[in-house]
Amino acid sequence: MKNIKLKLDNLDSYIQLVRKAILYIIIFEAVLVILIGIASSNLYHEKYATVFVITLILSTLIYVIILAFKYIYQKSIPNSIVDDLKASYELQALNQKYERNVATNQAINSTIDEIKRIDTNSLIHVSSEADPNDLLKSEIDKALLPLKKCLDTIFNKPNAKFTLGIALKDKKRKLSADTKISSNYIFRDDLDIGSTIDERVFTDDNLTGWLLELQSFFKSCINHEEIETSSFTKGNSLVCCPIKINRGFIGQIGVLFIISDMDKSEIPADAKSIVIVFTNLVATWMELFMLNVLSSAVKNIGKSLTDAFTKKEK
> Residues 76, 125: one domain?
no
Please provide residue 239's backbone torsions phi and psi, each rounded to the nearest 5 degrees: -125, 120
Tell me which of 92, 109, 136 is where a domain ends.
Answer: 92
Least confident window among 37-51, 79-93, 248-262: 79-93
> The domain that contains 145 carries what CATH number?
3.30.450
Least confident window among 31-40, 208-217, 284-293: 284-293
Structural domain containing residue 24? 2-92
**Which carries the bigger pLDDT value, residue 55 or residue 303?**
55
> Residues 47, 184: one domain?
no
> Residues 132, 76: one domain?
no
Residues 184/140, Cβ–Cβ less than 8 Å: no
> Residues 158, 252: one domain?
yes
| pLDDT on residue 179 | 43
| pLDDT on residue 141 | 80
Nearest alpha carbon to residue 181 among 131, 115, 245, 225: 131
| pLDDT on residue 174 | 44
Q: Please, what is the end-to-end C-alpha distance for the chain in angstroms?
A: 82
Nearest alpha carbon to residue 51 among 66, 41, 39: 39
Residues 239/228, Cβ–Cβ less than 8 Å: yes
Helix (H, G, I), strand (E, B) or coil at 3: helix
The reply to whether 143 falls in a domain is yes
User: What's the rounded Cα separation, in Å, for the pair 172 and 175?
Assistant: 10
pLDDT tens profile 209-245:
888 888 888 889 988 888 988 888 777 899 999 988 8
Tell me which of 51, 71, 92 is where a domain ends.
Answer: 92
> Residues 226, 159: one domain?
yes
Q: Which of 3-17, 24-38, 83-97 has the highest mean pLDDT?
A: 24-38
Whole-structure pTM value:
0.64
> Residues 126, 262: one domain?
yes
User: What's the rounded Cα separation, in Å, for the pair 276 and 227?
Assistant: 7
Q: How many residues does the chain have?
A: 314
> Residues 271, 167: one domain?
yes
Residues 194/175, Cβ–Cβ less than 8 Å: no
Give the mean model confidence (pLDDT) for residues 71-89.
61
pLDDT confidence band for 58 (50 / 70 / 90): confident
User: What's the burial of 4, exposed, middle or buried (CB within 10 Å: 0-12/13-18/19+)?
Assistant: middle
The reply to whether 115 falls in a domain is no
CA distances for 25 relative to 17, 21, 30, 78, angstroms: 12, 6, 8, 19
> Residues 65, 153: one domain?
no
Give the mean model confidence (pLDDT) for residues 129-138.
64
> Residues 63, 210: one domain?
no
Helix residue spans in 42-161 (DSSP H): 49-116, 120-127, 132-143, 145-149, 151-154
Q: What percent of the chain has pLDDT over 70?
A: 67
The reply to whether 113 falls in a domain is no
Say whether pLDDT at 98 is over 50. yes
Residues 137/109, Cβ–Cβ less than 8 Å: no
Tell me which of 92, 107, 142 is where a domain ends.
Answer: 92
Say whether pLDDT at 172 is over 50. no
> Residues 206, 285: one domain?
yes
The reply to whether 140 falls in a domain is yes
The reply to whether 165 falls in a domain is yes
| pLDDT on residue 215 | 87
**Tally of domains within the chain:** 2
The reply to whether 98 falls in a domain is no
The reply to whether 286 falls in a domain is yes
Nearest alpha carbon to residue 260 among 182, 128, 161: 161
> Residues 170, 36: one domain?
no
Say whether pLDDT at 124 is over 60. no
Residues 74-84: b if buried by 16+ CB within 10 A, e if exposed: eeeeeeebeeb
| pLDDT on residue 239 | 93
The reply to whether 271 falls in a domain is yes
> Residues 270, 152: one domain?
yes
CA 174 distance to own-chain centroid = 36
